[in-house]
Chain A
Amino acid sequence: MKITGAQALLKCLEEQKVHTIFGFPGGAVIDLYDEILAAEKLTHVLVRHEQAAVHAADAYARVTGDVGVALVTSGPGATNTVTGIASAYADSIPIVVFTGQVPTGLIGNDAFQEVDIVGITRPCTKHNYLVKDVNDLVPTIREAFHIARTGRPGPVLVDLPKDVMASKILFPEPQQVKMRTYRPTYEPHPGQIEKACRAILKARRPVIYAGGGVILSNAHEELTELARTADIPVTMTLMGLGGFPGTDSLSMGMLGMHGTYYANMAVANCDLLIAVGSRFDDRVTGRVDAFAPHAKIIHIDIDPTSISKNVKVHIPIVADCKHALTAMNTWFARSGEFNGKAEKENHALWLQQIKEWKAAHPLGYVEKTDVIKPQFVVQKLHELTGGNAIITTEVGQNQMWAAQFYHFNHPRAFMTSGGLGVMGYGFPAAIGAQMAAPDRVVIDIAGDGSIQMNIQEMATAMQYKLPVKIAILNNNFLGMVRQWQELFYDKKYSATILDVAPDFVALARAYGAVGLRATKPSEVEPVIKEALATKNLVVMDFVIEREEGVYPMVPAGKATTEMLLV
């Protein structure tokens, strides 16, 4: 029996085990929405802005480890997704975005609500497609999901002309996707594994530098095993947080621009750097020539372009992190040369040194009794959720305080727009995360500036009864930019003062949500407790120290040892 393109697309979603999609309708996708109404197994979440649909799909993917899906209309619907797609691309998150398009006959005619979204998103998708013939529809969608979830994951966009959705086809039998040109390398080269293991045996001052790849490949257990067997201290990138238990004694927390003193010192002094699924981003390396200057570098990454892009690597391993770490653990377990005890003695001095750095400059802040410190709020959130919440963040100081003070012990519990740094990511991401994990506590740690970039999603959270918690660290500033102005631009606060702001508590109530405010440190705990006890969307407005800074801080372009401390 022949079915329409729209029906075929829904069948494809079922085939891909997609149960939830995030979207917003319009003329070009009206055929699809007509089918969605009848699709019993599919939950469609109607967002209030297409950017939010993509961020929500992104977080949904991060929580579930599978592909997130967004659906929007042509023209403005499509262009509104670009920021979300670029963010998912920068963070290697597997999503598929379906965009409506004008009928094939009108393409290229500057038709109403026509944009060349395939052209626009070419540089910020892993791959994208315009489906011009309904016979290509199903194979294309299967390929899109395959590309999104395999190799280095990423966003794939499929542009769907309206007439293609209405045309009829026979639904092709399910088939394994086989592509001539795309075959990511999962298995590491055994010779490289041996070289890496021998380098670890020889090292006196090794450091593991773990990135988002550890989370994406579900390699946290293998990483933990390697670190503990050989007693190697671990530092993580913003994207890697949760890849190794943050409260473990081997954890040095985050490195880089707002990394810990001890992580940055350890990297600067190590003789072996084991980079796992990380990409030597400039926010991590600071001045490149001063980054791990004495170290031999091992780099495990599934994307060959990441290797030796910014920093020359000595032992490259192109592979999936999980496969490579498993191979290394196996090598150590099997090889007669491995002597756990000598190994630990080797590293004991080094761990002692790191302990001293930690004692000299622990992560901290100046406590006050009359004003709320943002770090205190994050610490309390950690304490009162037992460290088990899913945390999303906006961008700016709020993001860094969340990264520094909510010590993540589990993977897939921290969602932040790391590579692109999108203000407005956190709240829609929290919605996506809550859809993926209805029973978890989901908290968006927000800034007063960022939250206003997608505040309209309160309606979405209310519509689907999502008990997301928003914790606004309200400094009435675009705080992170203000901090740079304070430090490097003579305190000239150009365009960063947000004195005119909504009453967030009243705004929450206007949407039917719960609004709570804390203005004194003593109110922080009761507010959080009340929020956690409330089965509803809650906005917590924490009025914090206005000019609090994020420290340590490595000024842009400086060596990571040149930190400004608290």
Chain B
Amino acid sequence: MKHTISVLLQNKPGVLSRVTGLFSGRGFNIESLSVAPTLEADVSCLTLVTVGDDAIVEQITKQLHKLIDVIKVTDISEFEYVEREMALIRVKAEPSTRAEILRICDIFRGKVVDVSAKSYALEVTGTCDKVQAMIDILRPIGIQEIIRTGTIAMTRASKKY
């Protein structure tokens, strides 16, 4: 099963390689990974998506927690949460397909961020599934390049007021 794990880390040199080294060294897989500073300047948040059965994911969270520079590990998938990913997609654009591309972009609430004589670059954000759906639909038209950020995620605020 897919799990989205959020890791708060001390923002120090080498910390990221401790995390990735843990995954490669123990044969855990990483589907995507993204990391950036949080409100606190010396703390980073790393979101990673991994696939594994419950026992493996339990090991992953425990092992992450064991790293000295890790502050907090949350398996976000256990909670209600929102997730987003952004992709930049360059598609081949010919006079005959331009309208179709723009229509698809519209349906997915994407944006055209770069235009050339022969291609459009589109920006789309959404859940990983939505981004994937847009890619799948554009594929027959001719995708030249894709850059994805990987998923970031946040648990929903408590509904209790």
Where the two chains meet, the residues of A that have a C-beta atom closer than 8 Å to any C-beta of B are 118-119, 122-123, 126-127, 130, 147, 179-182, 303-305, 308-309, 312
Whether A182 contacts B68 in the complex (CB less than 8 A), given A122-B17, A123-B21, A123-B25, comes out as yes
The complex places the Cα of A428 from the Cα of B40 at a distance, in Å, of: 47
Other-chain contact of B71, A122, A130, A181 (Cβ < 8 Å):
A181
Interface pairs A-B: 9 shortest CB-CB: A127-B68, A305-B62, A304-B62, A181-B71, A123-B25, A182-B68, A305-B63, A305-B66, A123-B21
B50, CB-defined interface residue at 8 Å? no
| Chain B 43-98 interface residues, beta-carbon cutoff 8 Å to A | 55, 58-59, 62-63, 65-66, 68-71
With contacts A305-B59, A305-B62, A309-B59 taken as known, whether A122 is within 8 angstroms of B68 at the C-beta atoms is: no
Q: Which residue of B lies closest to A116 (CB)?
A: B14
The 8 A CB mask of B10-23 against A (1 = contact, 0 = none) is 10011001100110
Cα–Cα distance between A312 and B70 once the two chains are bound (Å): 26
Complex A-B: 26 CB contacts under 8 Å: A118-B14, A119-B14, A119-B17, A122-B17, A122-B18, A123-B21, A123-B22, A123-B25, A126-B68, A127-B68, A179-B68, A180-B10, A181-B10, A181-B68, A181-B70, A181-B71, A303-B66, A304-B62, A304-B65, A305-B59, A305-B62, A305-B63, A305-B66, A308-B55, A308-B58, A309-B59
Chain A residue, CB-CB nearest to B12: A129
Q: Which residues of chain A are within 8 angstroms of B58 by Cβ–Cβ distance?
A: 308
Within 8 A of A (CB), among B4-41: 10, 13-14, 17-18, 21-22, 25
Q: Closest approach, in angstroms, between the C-beta of B51 and any C-beta of chain A?
A: 19
Number of CB contacts from chain A to chain B under 8 A: 36
Classify the secondary structure of B's interface with A. Answer: helix
Contacts of B62 in A (CB 8 A): 304-305
- Which B residues are in CB contact (< 8 Å) with A182? 68
Residues from chain B with a CB closer than 8 A to the CB of A181 are 10, 68-71
| CB of A297, distance to nearest CB on chain B (Å) | 15
Name, among A119, A123, A181, the residue most crowded by chain B CB atoms within 10 Å (CB to CB). A181
Give B residues with C-beta under 8 Å from A: 10, 13-14, 17-18, 21-22, 25, 55, 58-59, 62-63, 65-66, 68-71
Q: With A122-B14, A304-B65, A305-B66 known to touch, is A180 a contact of B71 (CB < 8 Å)?
A: yes
Set of chain A residues within 8 Å of B22, measured between Cβ atoms:
123
**Is there contact, CB below 8 Å, between A122 and B10?**
no
Complex contacts, B17 vs chain A, CB 8 Å:
119, 122
- Compute how far the CA of A118 lies from the CA of B69 in the bound complex, rounded to whole angstroms: 15
CB-based nearest B residue for A306: B62
- Select from chain A the residue with minimum beta-carbon distance to B70: A181
Closest to A127 in B: B68
- Across-interface contacts of A126 in B (CB, < 8 A): 68
Closest to B72 in A: A181
Set of chain B residues within 8 Å of A130, measured between Cβ atoms: 13-14
**A305, B69: Cα distance in complex, Å:** 16
- Contacts A180-B10, A308-B58 supplied; 15 other A-B pairs, CB < 8 Å: A118-B14, A119-B17, A123-B21, A123-B22, A123-B25, A126-B68, A130-B13, A130-B14, A180-B71, A181-B10, A304-B62, A305-B63, A305-B66, A308-B55, A312-B55
Residues in chain B near residue A118, CB distance under 8 A: 14
Q: Separation in Å of the A306 CB from the closest CB of chain B?
A: 9
Contacts of B25 in A (CB 8 A): 123
Contact of B59 with A147 in the complex, beta carbons under 8 Å: no
- Residues of B within 8 Å of A127, CB to CB, are 68
In the complex the two chains form, what is the Cα distance from A127 to B66 in whole Å?
10
A303–B63 Cα distance when bound, in Å, is 10
CA of A41 to CA of B58 in the docked complex: distance in angstroms?
Answer: 47
Smallest distance from the beta carbon of A50 to chain B beta carbons, Å? 23
Closest residue of A by beta carbon distance from B69 = A181
Chain A nearest CB, measured from B122 CB (Å): 39
Q: Report the bound CA distance from A118 to B14 in whole Å.
A: 9
A126 to B18 Cα, complex, angstroms: 11
Among residues of A, the one whose C-beta sits closest to the C-beta of B58 is: A308
Instruction: Point out the residues of chain B lying under 8 angstroms from A303, CB to CB.
Output: 66
Q: Which residue of A lies closest to B22 (CB)?
A: A123
Report the minimal beta-carbon distance from B22 to chain A, rounded to whole angstroms.
8
* Alpha-carbon gap, A309 to B61, bound state (A): 12
A182 to B58, CA, bound (A): 19
Q: Quick one: closest B residue to A181, CB to CB? A: B71
How far apart are the CA atoms of A180 and B8 in the complex, in Å? 12
CA distance A413 to B65 in the complex (A): 33
**B18 contact set on A, CB distance < 8 A:** 122
Q: Shortest distance in angstroms between B126's beta carbon and chain A's nearest beta carbon?
A: 33
In angstroms, Cα B18 to Cα A9, docked, is 26
Q: In the complex, which residues of chain B have a beta carbon less than 8 angstroms from the beta carbon of A304?
A: 62, 65-66
User: Can you name the residue of chain A whose Cβ is closest to the Cβ of B18?
Assistant: A122
Name B63's closest neighbour in chain A (CB-CB): A305
B70 to chain A, nearest CB (A): 6
- Kindly provide the distance from the CB of A186 to the nearest chain B CB, expressed in whole angstroms: 16
Whether A147 pairs with B68 at a CB distance below 8 angstroms is yes
- Docked CA distance A122–B67 (Å): 11
**A118 to B21 alpha-carbon distance, docked (Å):** 13
Taken together as a complex, chains A and B put the C-alpha atoms of A391 and B71 apart, in Å, by 41
Taking CB atoms, residues of chain B closer than 8 Å to A179 are 68
Inter-chain CA distance A181–B40, complex, in Å, is 15
